Amino acid sequence: MPVDLRSDTVTRPDERMRSAMATAEVGDDVLDVDPTMRRLEERAADLLGMPAALWVPTGCMGNTIALMAHVGRGDSFLALRDAHVINNELGTPAWLAGGMPQALPELTPEAVRATTLNTGPYYSMRTSLLCLENTYNAGGGTVLPTAEHARLVGVAKELRLTVHLDGARVWNAAVALGVSPAELTAGVDTVQSCLSKGLGAPMGSVVAGTEEFVAEARRIRKMLGGGVRQGGVVAAAGLVALERIEDLAADHDTARALADGLVELGWRVRTPETNIVLAEAPGMTVPAALERLTALNVLAGPMAGLVRFVTHRDVGKAEIDEVLTRIRGTEWGEAGSSSTTARS
Ligand SMILES: *Cc1c(COP(=O)(O)O)cnc(C)c1O
């Protein structure tokens, strides 16, 4: 049996979620309203501590909508080096939002201040947005704590930057820190959060902000082809997903168990803060390691020049033990050790 640790997006809806989908009350959400969609949006807004929210088919669309709403054509926006909006969204911040990305070398108030160009002469590029990411995917699911978040939002406001939070896994950050998701959106203008990752919905994200932002976001969603009619069928899955935030603690435990096991087997591992484990096989390139893992029926992926394992609700402690057993019985270190770093 393959153990699929490529992403928490591989989670499949269980019986309870499927039956909620099958019996969902629906309407035409493009014409006026789908009642289940509306309930999901209200629940998500409430959990995220935002005035209003809009369901969107994907997290990428949620981020794109936010950037299209916030970034003027030719404006720059700031995001941490290797942020999802910079590396993994096909250049939509430029292609669709018209923004120039400026990568922050590190996520500190000093870096934000130094990279914001609004203090120059009139012909300087204008910086209009700071995009945060919590948890930070390319960092290995690292958590941005509330005090640091507050400092960053504070300096952004001082510099008159809008703040968007790519909170695809903000639920994981909240569970890891023992705070409510709303505490992690303090001061942001907008936030995007995925229902389709660790929370297990088959599809969907929400993008949240003020009522005015959501009205505009609804227009942009339609423009991008993301207005869906009887969306209640998938919103029902989203409502079940939102009941499962606390379950993410189990994914963090399995990530820790996997990391500890890999260390014992001689891998170099970053201690996981949430459900993502970034690791390096002993004496082996990332592509070679991934190939060998695939041969063991253990599926992982490349991220930031390392092997990325993501734990999720469809993989328990028993499967992690099984993964470690398969790795333990294998020779590592003699293949591909001379070639250079892998793609991220
Ligand atoms: C997955 C992810 C997204 C995009 O979500 P999709 O639903 O896959 O489009 C955005 N940001 C981060 C940090 C992510 O991990």
Read off the pLDDT of residues 53-103 as tens digits, 9 standing for 90 and up: 999 999 999 999 999 999 999 999 999 999 999 999 999 999 999 999 999
Instruction: Report the range of poorest mean pLDDT among 19-33, 109-123, 295-309.
Output: 109-123
The pLDDT assigned to 117 comes to 85
Nearest CA to ligand 1 atom 5: 59
* pTM of the predicted model as reported, rounded to 2 decimal places: 0.95
196 lines ligand 1 (CB under 6 A): yes
Residue 168 in contact with ligand 1 by CB distance below 6 A: yes
User: Residue 330: what pLDDT?
Assistant: 87
Question: How high does pLDDT run on average in the chain?
Answer: 95
131 Cβ closer than 6 Å to some ligand 1 atom:
no
pLDDT at 255: 98
Handedness of CA 169, 172, 176, 179 (dihedral sign): positive
Flag whether pLDDT at 336 surpasses 70: no
Q: Which residue in this structure is represented by tokens 């991008």?
A: 224
- Residue 331 carries which DSSP code? -
From 137, 193, 206, give the residue whose CB has the most ligand 1 atoms within 8 Å, as the site to mutate: 137
- Order of strands, edge to edge, in the sheet holding 276-280? 268-269, 276-280, 306-310, 301-303
Beta strands in the chain (DSSP E): 3-4, 52-56, 76-80, 100-104, 127-133, 162-166, 190-194, 205-209, 268-269, 276-280, 298-299, 301-303, 306-310
Phi and psi (nearest 5°) for 304?
50, 40
Please indicate whether residue 166, judged by its CB atom, sits closer than 6 Å to ligand 1: yes
Whether the predicted pLDDT of 107 surpasses 60: yes
Which residues on neighbouring strands pair with residue 280, listed in sequence order? 268
- Name the strands in the sheet holding 205-209, side by side, starting at the edge strand that comes first in the sequence: 52-56, 205-209, 190-194, 162-166, 127-133, 76-80, 100-104
The pLDDT value recorded for residue 332 is 80
Q: Is 137 in the pocket of ligand 1 (CB under 6 A)?
A: yes
Which pLDDT score, from 0 to 100, does residue 334 have?
A: 55
Largest CA-CA distance found in the chain, in angstroms, rounded? 64
pLDDT tens figures, 149-181: 999 999 999 999 999 999 999 999 999 999 999
- Predicted local confidence at residue 138, as pLDDT: 96
Can you read off the two tokens belonging to residue 341?
A: 């770093």
Closest CA to 61 of 166, 170, 185: 166
How far is the centre of ligand 1, averaged over its atoms, from the C-alpha of 110 (Å)?
27
pLDDT at 251: 98
Identify the pLDDT of residue 337.
42
